[in-house]
Structure 1
């Protein structure tokens, strides 16, 4: 019963988050305005357009897959995806998609000190991400030793308040931690 309550709250929280993103982007974007065509038929709602874009991003599916779920044409879905990504970057870049400034670094260091980890900016982790749509010509370069499928390595650095302030994709094939850290721009930026 407790798990169901937690799951229900998570769905509510993410639903509110998604609706907030749609509402924020709708204020600045012509893509999300609902139009009426020459026959007087109402066009797609901002919610439909953003849902199509989010489904393509979240599940890594082609534009024609969202047609069944959202009732949107392939060309319109692709246009919505491009506009959605551009608008998200435009709206949220200054707050969420940026490198930490001096005040942020001081705040991160204070958070580390409060948790008995002095001089710590956050927690770094690397993971292999399966690349389902890897071009055939590149598959041999991105084969991972532990799964035998094309993968990309994702490096992320997050603080205890879940602010991901560094994310980096790259590195063909398997790499150990030393090689990953050596090739990553993380330390160049911080130092």
Structure 2
């Protein structure tokens, strides 16, 4: 009789252990940690606020600098359209972009990152517009239009646009586009073609 009770106790203990094991196996595993999950769950962190009101100079960014590269970026960002002397500033912007493409210092991308990081959302969106116009200007200069005499008048006498490799321009454009998209720039300026200077150059 004692042996039967003892056997029954052991059997119950074994069944209890099996039940506990089964419960543990059915417990769902915790979801894997996704480092970017918190960011995706808070879309406000990725919101961009572009406000094309006020004077156009407020859309530009011209920080104090003592390096050689940032002034080229400022020249691109400060190009004008539809004003006296605008064509000279446009040529200077295009030349500045080409100088940036041919820069051998190895500092261009770092300067670009610093420059874009210092801007607000509107300034970055406007720089995207200015960059696209400067790329068009660079392509035109490499083809001999507008008149290359404007090079001297814009302070770039002796600069040879045809010496700038197209592959370098393409690579630089890809880098800038990637950096801008990294700041969630979506070319909001294309929705404001009733405003100058967007109305002057059109969309393209």
Give the TM interval when normalised to the shorter protein: under 0.3
Q: Please identify which structure carries the higher strand content.
A: 1
Query: Structure 1-normalised TM-score?
Result: 0.25
Q: Please identify which structure carries the higher helix content.
A: 2
